[in-house]
Amino acid sequence: MGLWVGGLSGFAIAPGGSFGRVAAWSAGLLVVSGAALALLHFAKPLDLMTTAYGQTLMLKVPVVGVALYLAWRARRRGELIALVAVLATAALLVSFPPPR
């Protein structure tokens, strides 16, 4: 997470830099670790819809998808806005207790 946020800071300062490779690896690791953590937190799939944590996670997933799509399409301004939205939904997510 620290590497991703650091890369995001560098990207905001110098968007033409060579952060693409680091960002791609960081994003991939974050998606995989987030999915593994979600599997550990949910005892049953219904928790996704019946808990505030699950509902927020369901909001965060498409926001991450949009951010990754914009990064792939090299839409830098949109990507930066989407990444801020990812951070905002992550901040909201940690404010709720996990369902287990």
Q: Let me know if residue 56 belongs to a domain.
A: yes
- Cα separation of 36 and 27, whole Å? 14
- Cα separation of 100 and 98, whole Å? 6
Q: Which pLDDT score, from 0 to 100, does residue 11 have?
A: 67
Q: Let me know if residue 98 belongs to a domain.
A: no
Q: Let me know if residue 100 belongs to a domain.
A: no
Q: Let me know if residue 31 belongs to a domain.
A: yes
pLDDT, mean over the chain: 82
Burial of 53 (0-12, 13-18, 19+ CB in 10 A): buried
- Cα separation of 78 and 11, whole Å? 13
| Average pLDDT, integer, range 8-27 | 69
Q: Let me know if residue 99 belongs to a domain.
A: no
Name the band, by pLDDT with cuts 50, 70 and 90, for residue 63: very high
Instruction: Supply the range of the domain harboring residue 65.
Output: 2-93
Choose among 7, 6, 97, 27: nearest CA to 57.
97
| Average pLDDT, integer, range 25-48 | 84
Q: Let me know if residue 22 belongs to a domain.
A: yes
Q: Let me know if residue 73 belongs to a domain.
A: yes
Q: Considering its fold, how many domains does the chain have in total? A: 1
